């Protein structure tokens, strides 16, 4: 079977990463979570005091971009790659609600996008990759052989994210998580550079009414047909 590129885009907390990880494992492909890269840049900006609820020093962030090095390192115990920011494992820190609350403002900055897209295109140069994000089928790999666009109702997604965060011991309310999910959708779909849109040739998967197993079977079948 020839190796292909699989692009999985969609709204936040639609189960993109769960599906992408499963697919990559089944096909022996590399999995790349591009949201982790935007989250790591956000963590950097927060650590440097460049962004908070009340301010954002965009110029300083752009000037500091060459100091940001992002790397994925496979963790065999977990079975997936973890995010490293300037040599530090930041996998836990980047998943907090605090980072989620700032990340979409960071992802609006074209200079940030250009840096990350370049790195993503290099990672996928040899195909055999499953990449998830918001602009993979439209900007990063417009020629991907298989494109999936995932949706689900905001309430379904907020519940999923709330369950994930509380399982990790984070103190959050369902209302705050719902507000974050809806707020990020709004910024992600309306930004000027690379807004979240379904590529014309993407298959839409609405998982409000499909089980994980059904979704996986459907997408695996599509991947087999394309490969």
Binding site, annotated residues: 10-18
Kindly tell me the sign of the dihedral angle through the C-alpha atoms of 30, 126, 148, 111: positive
**Residues placed in the known binding site for ATP:** 10-18
For the CB of residue 225, give the shortest distance to ligand C5P in the complex, in Å: 25
Nearest to 150 by CA among 26, 40, 2, 23: 23
Distance CA(156)–CA(203), nearest Å, equals 20
- Which spans of this chain sit near ligand C5P (rule: CB under 6 A)? 12, 34-35, 38-39, 103-104, 107, 133-135, 184, 188
- The C-alpha angle 137, 138, 143, rounded to 5 degrees, equals 60
Question: Could you tell me if 147 and 200 are in contact, meaning their C-beta atoms sit under 8 angstroms apart?
Answer: no
**In 3-state terms, what secondary structure has residue 44?**
helix
Nearest to 62 by CA among 134, 111, 128, 22: 111
For residues 89-123, b (16+ Cβ closer than 10 Å) or e, as one string? ebbebbbbbebbbbbbbbbbbeebbebbbebbeee
Q: Give 84 or 227: the residue with its C-beta nearer to ligand C5P.
A: 84
For the CB of residue 197, give the shortest distance to ligand C5P in the complex, in Å: 12
For the CB of residue 61, give the shortest distance to ligand C5P in the complex, in Å: 15
For the CB of residue 182, give the shortest distance to ligand C5P in the complex, in Å: 11
């Amino acid at each position: 079977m020839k190796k292909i590129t699989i692009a999985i885009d969609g709204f936040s907390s639609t189960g993109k990463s769960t599906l992408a990880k499963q697919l990559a494992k089944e096909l022996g492909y590399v999995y790349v979570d591009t949201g982790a890269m935007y989250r790591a840049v956000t963590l950097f900006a927060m650590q440097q005091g460049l962004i908070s609820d009340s301010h954002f020093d965009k110029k300083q962030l752009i000037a500091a971009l060459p100091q940001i090095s992002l790397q994925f390192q496979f963790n065999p115990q977990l079975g997936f790659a973890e995010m490293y920011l300037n040599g530090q494992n930041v996998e836990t820190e980047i998943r907090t609600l605090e980072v989620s609350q700032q990340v979409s403002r960071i992802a609006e900055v074209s200079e940030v996008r250009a840096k990350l897209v370049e790195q993503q295109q290099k990672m996928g140069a040899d195909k055999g990759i499953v990449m998830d994000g918001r602009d993979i089928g439209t900007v990063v790999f417009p020629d991907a052989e298989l494109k999936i666009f995932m949706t689900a109702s905001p309430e379904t997604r907020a519940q999923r994210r709330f369950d994930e965060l509380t399982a990790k011991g984070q103190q959050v309310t369902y209302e705050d998580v719902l507000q974050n999910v809806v707020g990020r959708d709004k910024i992600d779909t309306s930004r000027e550079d690379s807004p979240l849109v379904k590529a014309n040739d993407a298959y839409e998967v609405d998982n409000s009414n499909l089980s994980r197993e059904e979704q996986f079977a459907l997408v695996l079948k599509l991947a087999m047909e394309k490969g």
